[in-house]
Chains A and B, each alone.
Chain A
């Protein structure tokens, strides 16, 4: 198999100062004691772009997100640039909208009050925040559920509340960590299409982690494949599929050939993790 091993060769068109990347990571590494989780991640995200990241399990995807959301500092020598400025990870706290894998809704808050949590932390006026959330409910498929508590909601609905909370925290960059990982296949497909609608309407930038290649291609403008641990970017592919994307896209030849290429790359990395079987 012949496969492009490096990322920069397939970069986007030349940058102009006007479209400076919102997020620019270079040689980003992270070591926990003896374990190296990330080893030289290079990654750029342009404003308005939907970038998906796939990789074998344990490849350090979540560590990458923890750094970009400001929860962990990368090792020395890593370059982390946000909105054109070199920053420490901790300066990103409160500057990107982070959505972890689990919905992490607060049991004692109803749908509206869960959704406005980040605004409340920012010190926004509660009544105004609630009114805004109320207006957003239909778009998130939650009309009529304002006063429900998390234990009264299905998994898909809880996830939509968590997404709404993420969207209400109005930051240009959204980090979504396998938001649909726990949902059944049907709900998941519906949520993907719905997410694209919401994204196009709100014009936000998204960095999206998944381990589902179909999902990565269906959603992304660009798909990044990570190597096995220590994680780095193995492959970057632009997805030249027209938007808006419909469900039958997944059976088109372009989709299939891109999927095959990405699956091969992931397969090769998974083999490293699980050891050589025959060769």
Chain B
């Protein structure tokens, strides 16, 4: 018998860390062995060294991008859930809103970016709007699926207790939809950062996308990689926080 102090999730984490380290080791070896120029593939050690020297710029850019992504994420989440709620409470709206939302979503959001930059300028508001557009559709679909899971018989039971529409919404509809709303929120985390960064690359005054764009212009590929690493860490962190909240809030599954 062996004593195992780690839980299954800790095992998964350990495997992930090990995989990442192994990848970095191979990368480092390859870069050094083949003496690759840093504009093809810089060594990991070089990128990590850059983390340190450029920490002020990268940290500021990460905060800038995360701020935009988070604002757009919350705004888009609120819009998506509100639309799903409207469709649930006023069924006639379904035939109007669902096709309109699908039409908007059938084009990649990035296609709207020139217009959004034109309307909202090069500052943070255009990024927030882009993220909100991207997130709101995902959230609309998730939340609608959640509200559709409400059992009509439960609604009737609450009515028989004399419940108002507001009480039914608060005590039945929202909690029933919560698991799907939160899984939509979890999936939207990564998407919100991607859209923020891509939009920054098309025109911005700051942020990770802007750092990447500037670094490409001056052919500083170590900086590009450093910014990509930071973006990846920010994205994973955001995902982890929302996953944690999801497990806490949806404790009954």
Residues of A at under 8 Å CB distance from B? 66, 69-71, 93-96, 98, 100, 102, 104, 106-108, 117-118, 120-122, 149, 151, 169
Contact = CB atoms under 8 A, between A and B. Distances in A.
B172 A106 contact: yes
B160 interface: yes
Contacts of A120: 171
B252 A107 contact: yes
B160 A117 contact: no
B157 A122 contact: no
A98 B151 CA distance: 16
A121 B157 contact: no
Most-contacted residue by chain A among B156, B157, B158, B251 (CB, 10 A): B157
A71 B159 contact: yes
B161 A151 contact: no
Interface of B: 151, 153-154, 156-163, 167, 171-172, 175, 178, 251-253
A98 B160 contact: yes
Contacts of A102: 153
B160 A104 contact: no
Contacts of B175: 106, 108
Nearest to B249: A108
Contacts of B172: 106
A121 B171 contact: yes
A66 B167 CA distance: 20
Contacts of B251: 108
Given A100-B153, A104-B154, A69 B171 contact: no
Contact of B161 (A66, A107, A108, A117): A117
Given A100-B156, A100-B157, A108-B175, 7 more contacts: A66-B156, A69-B160, A93-B162, A94-B162, A95-B162, A100-B153, A122-B162
Nearest to B250: A108
Which secondary structure dominates chain B's binding surface? helix
Given A71-B160, A121-B158, A151 B153 contact: no
A69 B253 CA distance: 32
B161 A169 contact: yes
A192 to B, nearest CB: 23
B252 A93 contact: no
A70 B161 CA distance: 10
A66 B153 CA distance: 11
B153 A118 contact: no
A121 B252 contact: no
A94 B153 contact: no
A193 B251 CA distance: 36
Given A102-B153, A121-B167, A121-B171, A108 B162 contact: no
Nearest to B158: A121
Contacts of A151: 252
Nearest to B159: A93
A71 B154 CA distance: 12
A96 B172 CA distance: 20
A147 B241 CA distance: 28
Given A100-B153, A108-B175, A121-B167, A94 B252 contact: no
Contacts of A95: 162
A96 B151 CA distance: 21
A104 B157 contact: yes
A171 to B, nearest CB: 10
B176 to A, nearest CB: 8
Contacts of B156: 66, 69, 71, 100
Contacts of A108: 175, 178, 251-252
A170 to B, nearest CB: 12
B70 to A, nearest CB: 27
Nearest to B167: A121
Contacts of A71: 156, 159-160
30 contacts: A66-B156, A69-B156, A69-B160, A71-B159, A71-B160, A93-B159, A93-B162, A94-B160, A95-B162, A96-B160, A98-B157, A100-B153, A100-B157, A104-B153, A104-B157, A106-B171, A106-B175, A107-B253, A108-B251, A108-B252, A117-B158, A117-B161, A117-B171, A121-B161, A121-B162, A121-B167, A122-B161, A122-B162, A151-B252, A169-B161
